[in-house]
Copies of this chain bind each other. A is one copy, B any other.
């Protein structure tokens, strides 16, 4: 499998969703050109992306086999292998993500949540228990947790992150608006809803 850019990686779920839709409509072949048209991408870019992940080539005037492409994408993204995650911080965003099941189809299993609030500890959201944050290391190490989703206030994020560095965690999906220090072997991915809003606002102002 070839190495592809982050941006290309981010496009894969769009291809997957698009192809599943085509498959459900009984369409067996699609060309890179038509994908590009429908997803508003450049056709060369689509071909490059697909070539990086597909095991078979497309053929001129026919395109790619839809079922094979789906299989290739799913295997490349690795949706069929269970990834175990925990949510740290069950405030409004953490609660929100614990209630959200939309990533199930990507093999993500949110096992439980953690908090410091005594009133929340022991309760559960969407059938997922909330534990005392003191149990972080114990739970992560014993329950084979791969991913920690950080949905907590900025000022405690680094402290919790430091505790995580003592565990077997492999990746952190950070929603706090800070850049965290992590060990080299832990992958850090930053998400920031405010970043999106900032971009949207700029476009609102243009019209005013």
Chain A residues with CB under 8 Å of chain B are 6, 9-14, 16-18, 21, 38-41, 77-78, 83, 91-93, 95-97, 99-103, 106-108, 146-147, 154-155, 170-171, 173, 177-179, 185, 187, 189, 191-205, 207
Contacts and interface: CB of A to CB of B under 8 A. Distances in A.
B100 A201 contact: no
B18 A204 contact: no
B103 A194 contact: yes
B92 A99 contact: yes
Contact of A92 (B101, B106, B155): B101
A43 to B, nearest CB: 14
Most buried by B among A107, A146, A199, A207: A199
B170 A204 contact: yes
Contact of A200 (B96, B187, B202): B187
A195 B96 contact: no
Contacts of A202: 9
A179 B9 contact: no
Given A10-B195, A10-B199, A92-B102, 4 more contacts: A16-B177, A103-B193, A170-B204, A187-B204
A93 B70 CA distance: 25
A147 B205 CA distance: 12
A179 B10 CA distance: 13
Contacts of A18: 178
Contact of A103 (B6, B147, B197): B197
18 contacts: A9-B198, A10-B192, A12-B198, A13-B192, A13-B194, A14-B178, A14-B195, A17-B177, A77-B198, A83-B201, A92-B99, A96-B99, A106-B197, A170-B207, A185-B207, A187-B203, A187-B204, A189-B199
